[in-house]
A and B are shown apart, each in its own frame.
Chain A
Amino acid sequence: MDRTLRLAIRPTPGLSDSAVGPRPSCASDALLGWLLLLPAFVLVFVLIAYPLAYEAFLSLTDARVEQPGRLIWLQNYLDLIADRRFWGAAATTLVYAAVATAGKLLLGTAMALSLARPFPGRPIVFVVLLLPWLYPAVLSATALHLILNPIVYNRVILPLELVSHGLSISTESLWPLARIIFIDVWRGTSFVGVFLLVGLNAIPSELFDVAALEGRNSWLVFRLVTLPLLGRALLLAVLLSVGATLSNFSNLYLSTGGREVTETLGSLAYQAAITRGDLGRAAATALSVLPLVVALMLALARLLDREET
């Protein structure tokens, strides 16, 4: 893909400057470029950088909604480290992001592979598989929470109680996390599947023919041809899906009816800020995800770089 880029920058041979007329100078070129970038920059980078700096400052104070607060340095962070609920929420966040992403990738790959070649009725099946993503997530999470809860309690957890009290308790405590993972995977599979399908479409079909001629078996074809070429799409799918999962507070809040039986770092921050008005603590809690986010961004940047060369 670098080739296209270089071709675009390099003046075509044989086309001298006089034939094209004076090309706009690089300085004015760059100026126009910055100008066109301005809206996106302001709406993305400024809206991330400014709140981030503000939040870093807040986290060092004991500010509350009704009072500005004073500097208490790292006290909020020390309180967090000592808080067992914080560590529980951190663990839940990690498990949730990891399991949901793995589930979406697995089912999404299955969806892409089975849709890759034409068959009668494929367009209809495609739209049906796209439905979970098209159904607005806030609405589906609200509705599914309200529906699934009574079903699972009445049909699964109560009958288990008759079998074994311990089993029913452990099912009941696992259920909230399972529920948010289920709703997230349900919607995410749809998105990841389309993404990978597009990636598969970009694989030239001659490669499959060559592999078949060489007598490779299908697993080898998948491993040697499909998987490496899908790499770029897979990477992007991971990026988009982890991003969506980490910010998926709505799913958690809505699918527990706001009672937050399961706590993640996001819901702890929400509780501190909105329920208790403790802004300093909320800021510190929210910022605790930052190392994870930055690490993931760096890892993906490196993978994207390697994949592009």
Chain B
Amino acid sequence: VGARLGPGWGTLRAATLVVLVAFSLGPIYWMVVESLKDDREQVSGAPLWVARPTLKAYREVLVEGAFGRWATNTMLVLAAVTIVTVLSSLLAGYALSHLDVPGRRRIARLLLLSYMVPQTLLFVPLYLTVLALDLENNLLSLIVTYPMLAIPFCSWLFWTHFRALPPQVEEAAMVEGGSRWQIFRQILLPMSGPVMIAAAVFTVGVVTSEFLYASVFLPDPDHQTLAAGLGLSEVGLDELAGVVAGANLGALPVVVLCGAFAPQYVRGLTAAMLEGA
């Protein structure tokens, strides 16, 4: 919007961008610097600078400790939850936009609004249920509860996306005798790629930021995810680099993968939001 509005705005925009980039990168810079410190610098070094960078912390994280197991658990949970969430949101979005479900508008609205129900509201009864079903320290407890955090938004994405598709295409296919399933498979599904990616990226973002359920349902360090494992560990000042290095290592694949999909993420969100304009 800036460029069109005269030279003053161009400068303002550049300044804003510089501030925002510094704001974004600052904490990431700290995390990288901290993870590169050796034992001495962790205690007495400068906070924003590392004099003798070393990869020792990373080496230790990878060799000792439960990092490998936690990372595997995290990946299992992430994969299962993302598949369950995207599939059930896709089906729900299709049903609400294409099938004559009574009160579908209300249902779609209610689904979206249920995103606001905080985890802190429900963890006590959920924990007791997990105990009663003997699912404590079982990753299944997270795989069943996490979709609740992402389905509200993802099914709304699919709902608006499917509603916005021009109906003529489907009608033409129907005239040619295509069944509902064929139309879904051959027309709707291929047009939904970016929205599926947007839903998946959103789900990964939500699941990787959840700590409460992970820490309550998985108290045993042998069965934890990265979130619970790193979050619950007791840290002395000289062990800081190890934890931060673990955080960076755990974050790296997520950041790279989702960063690579960033253009599709934006395209998918746009596809769902454009309807209405």
Whether B155 lies near A40 (C-beta < 8 A) is yes
Residues of chain A contacted by B65 (CB below 8 angstroms): none
Cα–Cα distance between A197 and B167 once the two chains are bound (Å): 28
The smallest beta-carbon distance between B70 and chain A, in angstroms, is: 11
Contact partner of A29 (CB less than 8 A), chosen from B100, B124, B212, B250, is B100
A45 closest partner in B (C-beta): B114
**B17 an interface residue at 8 Å Cβ cutoff?**
yes
Q: Contacts A143-B244, A198-B270, A218-B5 known; A29 to B99 CB distance under 8 Å?
A: yes
The smallest beta-carbon distance between B100 and chain A, in angstroms, is: 4
**B205 an interface residue at 8 Å Cβ cutoff?**
yes
**A173 an interface residue at 8 Å Cβ cutoff?**
no
**B91 an interface residue at 8 Å Cβ cutoff?**
yes
Residues of chain B contacted by A197 (CB below 8 angstroms): 266
Q: Please give the number of chain B residues whose Cβ is less than 8 angstroms from any Cβ of chain A in the complex.
A: 115
Whether B129 lies near A51 (C-beta < 8 A) is yes
Q: Interface size bucket, A side?
A: 35 or more
B225 closest partner in A (C-beta): A138
Residues of chain B contacted by A35 (CB below 8 angstroms): 95
Extra 19 A-B pairs, beta carbons < 8 Å, given A146-B244, A242-B116, A279-B124: A12-B167, A12-B171, A20-B174, A37-B107, A44-B148, A50-B129, A51-B126, A54-B128, A113-B13, A137-B208, A138-B230, A139-B227, A140-B31, A143-B248, A151-B48, A198-B273, A250-B210, A270-B120, A270-B123
Report the 7 A-B pairs with minimum CB-CB distance, sorted nearest first: A250-B211, A137-B209, A266-B120, A33-B99, A136-B208, A247-B118, A39-B88
Residues of A in contact with B (beta carbons under 8 Å apart):
1, 4-5, 7-8, 12, 15, 19-21, 24, 26, 29-30, 32-37, 39-41, 43-45, 47-48, 50-52, 54-55, 58, 107, 110-111, 113-117, 119, 123, 125-144, 146-148, 150-151, 154-155, 186-187, 189-191, 194-195, 197-204, 208, 212, 218, 221-222, 226, 229, 232-233, 239-240, 242-243, 246-247, 249-250, 253-254, 257-258, 265-266, 269-270, 273-274, 279, 282-283, 286-287, 289-290, 293, 296-297, 300-301, 304, 308
